[in-house]
Structure 1
Amino acid sequence: MKKRESLRKSVWTIISLVTLFLIWYLGSRNEELGRLMPDPVEVLKFIAAGFVAPIGKKLLWEHILWSLSRVLIGYVLACIVGILLGFAASWFKVGEAVIRPFYLLLRSIPSLAWIPLAILWFGIGEKSKYFIIFITAVMIIMTNVMDGVKAVSPELLGVARMLGTKEKQLFVRVVLPCAVPQIFNGLQVAVGSAWAAVLAAEMVRSSEGVGWIILAGQSSMNMVQIFAGIVVIGMIGLLLALLIRAAERRLCAWNVRGK
């Protein structure tokens, strides 16, 4: 039954992707829409050619590795800080009083708004890029950690306390397992946002990366290159989200969402 359901989902995913491709292709054939979007076949050819012929000074896979390395560093730091601060702000009263005001202040600031400060604080090197990716992901992770902890049933906590469970054990045995699915949801959303933030991060004087490919295409008015960069970012973002989803299924098999 599960295999059949999984197969059905895969089929619908393929159908939706093919439908999107056909709509894009037909749109590019239209005289008016063709000025706004290139032929998807040409975009796919550009992507394929990028693996054997350099785009700028590097091959496409090298650009992808540069962007992935930036995302990985910023995302891992965001996971560590976001999870720790999220638990501190939602489980400890002092933590909530200290951390939550800063969280509410910072969470609505978009990634692009941090670029000038990132340059002033860290210069135009890699550290500024890591910071932009980090600040994008950390707020999403904190939000989901706090929501996961707050969603734990007060009745469940009360019963655990009545049974003599100490606060440390209560957190490890009750709160953490209940919050894990929501945390994974945040990690999945955050990895997509972190990957999307590569574009903003690589606006800070970069000569490599998928975001640079898009910006270079904009400078040369090359619509095919711009769309190729967008497609690569979208596909790799999807793959990263699927990896987090697979990890959730393995680690949260006891939970309905994780099955």
Structure 2
Amino acid sequence: MTLFDLTGKTALFTGGGGGIGLAMAKGLAAHGAEVVLVGRNREKLDAAAAGIVAAKGQAQIAVCDLLDTAALEALVAETEARHGGIDILINNAGIQHRQPALDIADADWGRVLETNLTIPFRLARAVGRGMVGRGSGKIINTLSVLSSLGRPSVVPYTAAKGGLKMLTKGLAVELAPSGLQVNGIAPGYILTEMNTALSQDRAFSDWLTARTPARRWGQPEDLVGAAVFLASAASDFVTGHVLTVDGGMTASV
């Protein structure tokens, strides 16, 4: 089990206040990591951190608008100064925008691309500098099965997640000589707040469960094992990889 021991490691989480991010943060904390949850909603972050601490884990919060590049850089600098470095970066924050492609406004397109693709790049750039200096580090990007598949009404999201997949691979190749591993986790359809409308749509939910070999929606906890593996020494020779967690959906025709 020492391969999965994260004792003494600091993990910076975006989108860790709920859903998939919080589940992964709890998992890393349970394996010894100190997690720093980043977001804009202090109340939500406080509740998430309190739950981790109540389970005997270590958690702190950092309220930050990641769309503000100066605030993002300051967040990274302050976290590194406080913890002596950031060992693990999990780019999990993301947004969705459902609308026919021909009706999407430039502002909505830009907002989805910046949140789901540009912010992960900026964080990887800021955190990666310190990791390269120390000769080690793990960067994990939350992708989606829609990184590789198209679906009507979510074109900005698929474009951003597809770009994030290639950002993952590009960074992996460039940073591997410095001792870093950069990987992605591609969840299938998970029961989170972002997917509430879909899960409440009986026709869609019936289609999804029939389409998925596991015959169910995913739960946030289904992502924990993948996150711990990619954050730990168990994955030291794994980089540029996308670990799909979808109940077999993309393996099936």
| TM-score past 0.5 threshold | no
Instruction: Name the larger-Rg structure.
Output: 1
Higher strand residue share: 2
Structure 2 length-normalised TM: 0.27
